[in-house]
């Protein structure tokens, strides 16, 4: 008995590695608390989650059902099903007019899996990689867990939160960078870089020998103009993308990388060891999702209506201080007139108004206490109900 207790104490005493001490997603904390309240029977409007309310398109679900019925679901090649890789390559021709060899595509477990593989393939421990703030919090967490130094570029609302080639050149001149990781449209801001700015960044990175990773996960979800891929401007850019957002397939955990040819076999070997392959069923469903574009465009049209409604309503309830929503399904509101503690503000909003949103501190450790992200990827009625509750809560 005493021996068992001693063994148990020893197990409890094992402390985690320093590099695994990444910050939790506050969004997930809000997500859990909102779910807990909803479970107790409270009506909560969920504007915190960064995922579509709509299901995967019907052809994707049917393809998955057929595969389940066929019985056997095995591993695939580490880089993914050849037919899916070919279909993704075709997508580049159709959507961007850019010709990409299917051999350059690696299918991954969500873009999240793609980050780990591409960062390992690109950077040594101790490398310096620049990211924007506000930005997607997992970038910092994954990079730091891999022993990579994160250099933060604080963006400005008046500049549409864009990182410019000049920003990168200045930073690089101070202490050389090894990589730059950017996204457009952005999470949490929904703003986009201009094509020219993207081209300048891609070309500058090539000139400086800095690796440019372009997270294009919100492509397809743009409201005024389409987003161009970094591949249109550089063959050296590494593109990360996913079926999670436009294709409404978050839980299927399926994404892809477009790699320079020189990195393909490296990523293949890493994938063999890290995941063996992305889930076969999700790969089959993802390939079929390309046949569900009509449904997906209808989902996007509902986001566009939510966006238009918010543009009208948010200023009227004192939440009008945000950058133009060029894409994605987020609005990142400056709430500094209402609070200097976005965490506390979101907690009160959840408990008192029954509306869940994400505190800006997730996205910007320095300035996020003054900002809140609302997601409008849910049903139109829910978003309208959320605004109604906020109006009453804020006394407007
Ligand atoms: C900018 C950005 N990149 C990547 C991801 C990860 O998505 P997934 O792993 O589902 O492809 C997210 C999720 O919210 C995101 O906002």
Q: In angstroms, what is the span from residue 131 Cα to ligand 1's centroid?
A: 15
What 3 state SS string does the chain have? CHHHHHHHHHHHCCCCCHHHCCCCCHHHHHHHHHHHHHHCCCCCEECCCCCCCCCCCHHHHHHHHHHHHHCCCCCCCCCCCHHHHHHHHHHHHHHHCCCCCHHHEEEECHHHHHHHHHHHHHCCCCCEEEEEECCCHHHHHHHHHCCCEEEEEECCHHHCCCCCHHHHHHHHHHCCCCEEEEECCCCCCCCCCCHHHHHHHHHHHHHHCCEEEEECCCCCCECCCCCCCHHHCCCCCEEEEECCCCCCCHHHCCEEEECCHHHHHHHHHHHHHHCCCCCHHHHHHHHHHHHHHHHHHHHHHHHHHHHHHHHHHHHHCCCCCECCCCECCEEEEECCCCCCCHHHHHHHHHHHHCEECEEHHHCCCCCHHHEEEEECCCCHHHHHHHHHHHHHHCCC
Q: In angstroms, what is the span from residue 111 Cα to ligand 1's centroid?
A: 6
Q: In angstroms, what is the span from residue 139 Cα to ligand 1's centroid?
A: 10
pLDDT tens string 53-86: 999 999 999 999 999 999 899 999 999 999 999 9
**Which of 112, 135, 141, 243 has most ligand 1 atoms within 8 Å of CB, for mutation?**
112
- Fold classification of 2-55+294-393 is 3.40.640
Q: In angstroms, what is the span from residue 255 Cα to ligand 1's centroid?
A: 9
Q: Which residue has the least CA distance to atom 13 on ligand 1? A: 50
Q: In angstroms, what is the span from residue 11 Cα to ligand 1's centroid?
A: 34
Index of the ligand 1 atom closest to the CA of residue 250: 10
Q: Is the CB of 109 under 6 A from ligand 1?
A: no
Q: In angstroms, what is the span from residue 324 Cα to ligand 1's centroid?
A: 21
Which residue ranges in the chain fall short of pLDDT 50? none
Q: Which residue has the least CA distance to atom 14 on ligand 1? A: 50
Residue limits of CATH 3.40.640.10 in the chain: 2-55+294-393, 59-291
Q: Is the CB of 136 under 6 A from ligand 1?
A: yes
pLDDT (0 to 100) of residue 158: 85
Q: Is the CB of 322 under 6 A from ligand 1?
A: no
Q: Is the CB of 183 under 6 A from ligand 1?
A: yes
Q: Is the CB of 242 under 6 A from ligand 1?
A: yes
- Fold classification of 59-291 is 3.40.640
């Amino acid at each position: 008995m005493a021996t068992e207790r001693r063994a148990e104490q020893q197990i409890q005493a094992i402390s985690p590695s320093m590099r695994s001490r990444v910050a939790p997603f506050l969004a997930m904390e809000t997500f859990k608390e909102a779910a807990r309240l909803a479970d107790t029977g409270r009506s909560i409007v969920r504007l915190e989650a960064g995922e579509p309310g709509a299901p995967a398109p019907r052809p994707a679900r049917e393809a998955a059902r057929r595969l389940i019925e066929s019985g056997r679901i095995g591993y695939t090649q580490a880089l993914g099903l050849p037919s899916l890789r070919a279909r993704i390559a075709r997508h580049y021709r159709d959507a961007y007019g850019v010709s990409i060899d299917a051999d350059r595509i690696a299918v991954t477990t969500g873009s999240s899996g793609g980050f780990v593989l591409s960062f390992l393939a690109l950077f040594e421990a101790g490398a310096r990689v620049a990211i924007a703030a506000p930005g997607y919090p997992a970038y910092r967490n994954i990079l730091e867990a891999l022993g990579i130094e994160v250099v933060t570029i604080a963006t400005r609302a008046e500049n549409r939160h864009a990182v410019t080639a000049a920003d990168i050149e200045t930073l690089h001149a101070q202490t050389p960078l090894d990589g730059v990781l950017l996204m457009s449209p952005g999470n949490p801001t929904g703003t986009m870089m201009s094509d020219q700015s993207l081209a300048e960044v891609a070309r500058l990175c090539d000139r400086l020998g800095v690796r440019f990773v372009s997270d294009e996960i919100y492509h397809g979800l743009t409201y005024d103009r389409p987003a161009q891929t970094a591949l249109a401007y550089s063959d050296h850019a590494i593109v990360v993308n996913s079926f999670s957002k436009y294709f409404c397939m978050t839980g299927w955990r399926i994404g892809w990388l477009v790699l320079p040819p020189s990195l393909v076999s490296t990523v293949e070997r890493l994938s063999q060891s890290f995941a063996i392959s992305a889930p076969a069923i999700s790969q089959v469903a993802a390939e079929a999702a390309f046949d569900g574009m009509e449904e997906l465009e209808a989902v996007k049209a509902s986001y566009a209506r939510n966006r238009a409604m918010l543009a009208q309503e948010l200023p009227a309830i004192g939440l009008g201080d945000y950058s133009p929503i060029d894409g994605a399904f987020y609005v990142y509101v400056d709430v500094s007139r209402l609070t200097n503690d976005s965490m506390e503000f979101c907690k009160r909003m959840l408990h008192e108004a029954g509306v869940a949103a994400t505190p800006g501190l997730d996205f910007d450790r320095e300035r996020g206490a003054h900002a809140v992200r609302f997601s409008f990827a849910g049903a139109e009625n829910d978003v309208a109900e959320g605004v109604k509750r906020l109006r009453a809560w804020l006394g407007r």
